Structure 1
């Protein structure tokens, strides 16, 4: 028995992905969608569940800092099908390196923020101790 795939409107896809209708139209114009968006008899866009899955992947790539041209290229390679796996792998490996570099930078930033939090916590602890003992710890 084959599974019936329900058509989704652009509003339903926007709701399910968190993307705006404007962004979905933009992604379509930019060639970011893995499959061309069909239109119903009234000219309205018709999406499917696999489009939602693809958009979720694209959102993760975008959130991780992948530029739209790289996402577009990845999409083109996926559309081209078999034989493009090596180029897809190169593209994703390069992106992985950029993400790892970003994570390293963020770890350094977090270390500094944690240090500064510790400085202020220690300073406030000293003030609290001084208040409790009636001494001025700032001397």
Structure 2
């Protein structure tokens, strides 16, 4: 069985060493076995699999409590498939909403950049068209800011 150091796991998962220790401390993973002579953590392949899943969830903005639920459902296997699906779909909805908000922000920034580009070129007709695009985006931008 391959045993990995905390440094190796940090490199492979993208999680920092303090985060790995924290995840063990709060029970998201582990307990992680220790080397008998040094006392250093030695991660198993199964720990690495769990940590890679947690790293992905973390990157998607999933909080600790939902990570805990995810890990618990994962351990329960197929019996928890429905709960796992609902947890993931809830976060997919959140990410979808964030993407839509970012699209509105992007539309606004591009319209404003076009406006300033037209001004920089001294093109009054393009400036007027760009101003219309900015005004067309404003209701969506205001709604996104309220959400």
| Alignment TM class, shorter chain as reference | 0.7 to 0.9
Q: Is the 8 A contact 1:31 1:75 kept in 2?
A: no
Segments of structure 1 that go 5 or more residues without pairing to the other structure are: 128-139
Q: Distance in 2 between matches of 1:67 and 1:106?
A: 21
Which fold has the larger relative contact order, with Cα–Cα distance below 8 Å and residues 6 or more apart in sequence?
A: 1
Q: Distance in 2 between matches of 1:20 and 1:121?
A: 43
Name whichever structure is richer in helix by fraction.
Answer: 2
1:85-130 superposed Cα distances (whole Å, 9 cap, x missing partner): 1111111111111111111111111111111111122222228xxx
1:12 match:
8
TM-score, normalised to structure 1's length? 0.77
Alpha-carbon RMSD across the aligned residues, in angstroms, is 1.9
- SS for the counterpart of 1:39 is coil
The number of residues matched between the two structures is 122
Q: Distance in 1 between matches of 2:108 and 2:57?
A: 27
Q: Distance in 1 between matches of 2:35 and 2:15?
A: 21
Of structures 1 and 2, the larger Rg is shown by 1
